[in-house]
Every structure is written in structure tokens, then in C-alpha cells.
Amino acid sequence: MPSVLSHPVFARLFAAQVVALFGTGLLTVALGLLAFDLAGASAGAVLGTALAIKMVAYVGLAPVVQALSASLPRKGVLIGADLVRGGVALMLPFVTGVGQIYVLIFVLQAASATFTPAFQATIPDVLDDEADYTRALSLSRMAYDLESLLSPALAALLLTVISYHSLFVGTVLGFFGSAVLVASAHLPPRAPDSIPRPFVERVTRGTRIYLATPRLRGLLALNLTAAASSAFVIVNTVVLVRAGYGASEAALAMAMAAFGAGSMTAALALPGVLERTGDRPVMVAAAVCLTAVTMGGGLWLWRTGLPPWPVFLATWAVWGLLFAAIVTPSGRLLKRSARAEDRPGVFAAQFALSHACWLVTYPLAGWVGAAAGLGPALVLLGVLAGVGAVAALRLWPAEDDVALAHSHPDLPPDHPHLRAYPGQGRRHRHTFVIDDEHQAWPTHG
């Protein structure tokens, strides 16, 4: 896997991702402390509202900002988004009211909704080889997991010598450092769209391609499984560890580390596994297993209570492994399912639709857990995960060939697309994606 870091452009982009992630991790800690300063015992409600604002910005803005920036240089878009995020982080230490936090968080997350899909859509243009791209996806997954493990520890260490307000400086440096690294990379130009399109079509095109492609409809269902199961981990681990086990903050860190270790194990193993088996068997099997773990864990928690601590940690590690086995290969499906010029829109659609799943499952995990208990909440989320797994099995065909035979009965004989396949006529076979000449997925042949 380190061999992919020998690619100079990807190495700079990966470094930009890492420093931005650590800046975000420091921001999470500092924002929690700032919310407590401003709202006291109501800090949880403030952070919950901020999280909801984040998800709404992600779901509503990603396709829109992608359409607005479609004609702009991708390097300028990435650098501009980083500078906005850094500027917002620079203002956060000076806020004096909760309302100001909400406004700044919305602006910051709007910039993230600009940066992340554009960044993700750039990587497959940098790494043409699918094996290298798979390794890059695994490295990206490991970076997220390492950040979640190390950022809180780094913040705790820094807080022994500085005030929490100074953590925002680390966030600023992370985003500005990311901008510098992106600026130093020689990015391939964005593939131009040969047809000028109205703004509304630019906004919706990526989502239309996404929803018209069977493997991506399956991916959306798998996003639901991953979100339903893992929302419980993210929202309720603190409740289980601190209230259920009566354990310390160190035990909470250990539980999240177990989840992260499972995820990193999957990221390390996936390049070799995917090369042998393909994406669908791995992702669907992981979804079925994750549903079983969620349902089984919920029934156990509901009827029996908490398992022994080592069993709990092992379960969280398995949870992390299965979660990563679903989400890590998703970039491969997106790359395979769109032309280069449509890829940013498809990545933006994945960003928005996957976060729409989290927007549903986060409140369910919290509200049902508080109202009915954690066991019933986990069972309900397990049912939702099962719906996603069954839908993926039905929506994503087992025979998922990249090249498909299909017909063009409405195209004139001299159409450029038909001329590209001489001797084959209106019925021919090639790598199939939804585009202007291919409006619907072939259902036969």
C-alpha cells in the first residue's frame, strides 16, 4: 500500500487530507468546550444542533456547489474551500453567542460540502490504475480512523499547556496547510463537458446518473445499512461506557479505539480481497453480517443487558471492520459508473445521499435510545440496516458487467456514437455508463 504514496501528486493530496483531518479533530474538541462555556449544561443540545446543521448543509448544498463550481479550476475550488474553512476556524474563538456558532458552522460545513466531493473526484483522475486507486481508498479510510484515535489524544496533550481557544489555531493551520499542499500539487485539469447545460440540469445530473445506475442504487442501500448500524456506535457508545459500565473516559477512548482498529484492519485487507473477489460480494456480505451483529447485539442488550467488557470491545472491533468493508470500496463503484466529466457530480450525489442516511439514523439512535432504551433502539436500527442489505441484494445485480450489449434504435446511422463502433450498427457492446447517448440502463443483453 505505501507504493501508491510514491505518486507525487497523490502523496501531496493525501498529506493535505491528513493535516485537514487533524485540524478537524482539534476543532471537534475545541467546539465542545466552547459550547460548554456558552451554554453550560445545555452544551449537548448546542452540539446536537450543530451536527444537524452539518448534515443539512451536506445534503442540501453538495450538488448545488458542485454545479456552481463546475466551470472553475479544480485547484482553485479546493484551495478556496480550505481558506474559507480556515477563516471560519479563525473566527470561532471570538464568538459570544450560540447563534454565532450556528452561522459559522453552517459556513464551515458548506465549504466542506464543496471541498470533499471535489477532492474525492480528483483522486481517480490522478490514479488511473484501479489497483492504485483501491490502495488510495484504503489509505483514506485509515487516515479517518487514525484521526479519530489520535486527535483527541493530541488535544488532551495540548490542553495541558494551552487554553482550548488555542486549539482553534491548530484547526486553522490544518486547513491552511491543506491549501498549501493542494497548491503545490500538479492536478490534472477537470474534464470539460462538451455540452453547455442549464443550471438545474447541472445540479441534478449527478443524482440522476447515480439513481439510474443499478450498482449505485445498491450502494445507496448499503449506505443506509452502514449509517443505521454505525450511528448507534457514534451516538451511544458514550452512554454505554459511562452510564452502563460506569467506566472512565479512558474506557470510552478504548471502545472507540476498538471500532477504529477494526476499520483499519479492513482497510489493510481490502485491496487484496477486492482484487480476488470484486466489490459486490465483499460489500453485500459485510452488510448482511453487519445487520446480524446489529440485530443480535440489540436483542442481547434488550433482553440480557450489557455483555462482559472484553466481548463489548470485540463486538465494536467487528462493527468497525464490517463498516469499513462497506464504505471503503464505494469510490471504485463511483469511478466505474460515470464519465470523467460527470464524475464530480456523481461524487457529490454520493456525498449528499449518504449523509441523508446519517441525517435519518443519527436522530433515531439518540431519540429512540433516550425514550425507549438502548436495546430497542439498536433493534430498530438493525431492522433499518436489514432493509438496506435486502434492497442492495435486489438493486445491485449479481452479474454486474462493466461492458454491456445495448441498442440505439433512435440514433441516426451517421451519429458519432455509432461511427465509433464500425460494423456493429445500432446494437453494440462497450463500457456502459449513463450519459447523453445512454439515458437508461439496458435491462436485457
CB 246 within 8 A of CB 238: no
Give yes or no: residues 217 and 133 share one domain: no
Give yes or no: residues 335 and 249 share one domain: yes
Give yes or no: residues 181 and 212 share one domain: no
Q: 82: domain range? A: 1-190
Of 190, 225, 240, which closes a domain?
A: 190
Give yes or no: residues 264 and 300 share one domain: yes
Residue 409 lies in a domain: no
CB 179 within 8 A of CB 79: yes
* Confidence at 412, pLDDT banded by 50, 70, 90: confident
Q: Mean pLDDT over all residues of the chain? A: 89
Give yes or no: residues 147 and 38 share one domain: yes
CB 357 within 8 A of CB 227: yes
Residue 444 lies in a domain: no
Largest Cα span, the chain: 74
What angle is formed at CA 423 by the lines to CA 420 and CA 424, rounded to 5 degrees?
75
Residue 417 lies in a domain: no
209 vs 91: CA distance, rounded Å: 39
pLDDT of amino acid 156: 72
Q: What is the mean pLDDT of residues 159-163?
A: 81
* CATH code for the domain in which residue 108 is found: 1.20.1250.20
Residue 402 lies in a domain: no
* Confidence at 443, pLDDT banded by 50, 70, 90: confident
Residue 423 lies in a domain: no
Give yes or no: residues 166 and 299 share one domain: no
**HSE-up of 92 (CA within 13 Å, CB side)?**
34
Of 142, 163, 190, which closes a domain?
A: 190
Give yes or no: residues 253 and 167 share one domain: no
pLDDT of amino acid 390: 98
Alpha carbon distance, N-terminus to C-terminus of the chain: 38
Q: Using H for helix, E for strand and C for coil, what is the string for the chain? A: CHHHHHCHHHHHHHHHHHHHHHHHHHHHHHHHHHHHHHHHHHHHHHHHHHHHHHHHHHHHHHHHHHHHCCCCCHHHHHHHHHHHHHHHHHHHHHCCCHHHHHHHHHHHHHHHHHHHHHHHHHHHHHCCCHHHHHHHHHHHHHHHHHHHHHHHHHHHHHCCCCCHHHHHHHHHHHHHHHHHHHHHCCCCCCCCCCCCCCHHHHHHHHHHHHHHCHHHHHHHHHHHHHHHHHHHHHHHHHHHHHHHCCCCHHHHHHHHHHHHHHHHHHHHHHHHHHHHHCHHHHHHHHHHHHHHHHHHHHHHHHHCCCCCHHHHHHHHHHHHHHHHHHHCCHHHHHHHCCCHHHHHHHHHHHHHHHHHHHHHHHHHHHHHHHHHCHHHHHHHHHHHHHHHHHHHHHHCCCCCCCEEEEECCCCCCCCHHHHCCCCCCCEEEEECCCCCCCCCCCCCC
pLDDT of amino acid 2: 62
* Confidence at 37, pLDDT banded by 50, 70, 90: confident
Give yes or no: residues 180 and 209 share one domain: no
Name the percent of the chain lying above pLDDT 90: 55
pLDDT of amino acid 49: 79
Give yes or no: residues 42 and 138 share one domain: yes
Give yes or no: residues 185 and 64 share one domain: yes
Q: What is the mean pLDDT of residues 231-239?
A: 85
Structural domains in the chain (count): 2
Residue 196 lies in a domain: no
Residue whose grid cell is 465509433? 420
Of 357, 379, 397, which closes a domain?
A: 397
CB 108 within 8 A of CB 59: no
- Selected residue with higher pLDDT from 43 and 201: 201
Residue 411 lies in a domain: no
pTM: 0.90
Residues in contact with 87: Cβ distance below 8 Å, sequence separation at least 6, in sequence order: none
Give yes or no: residues 47 and 105 share one domain: yes
Give yes or no: residues 209 and 161 share one domain: no
pLDDT of amino acid 193: 66
What angle is formed at CA 245 by the lines to CA 243 and CA 249, rounded to 5 degrees?
75
Buried-exposed string 373-385: b where 16+ CB fall within 10 A, e elsewhere: ebbbbbbbbbebb
* Confidence at 397, pLDDT banded by 50, 70, 90: very high
Residue 430 lies in a domain: no
pLDDT of amino acid 445: 40
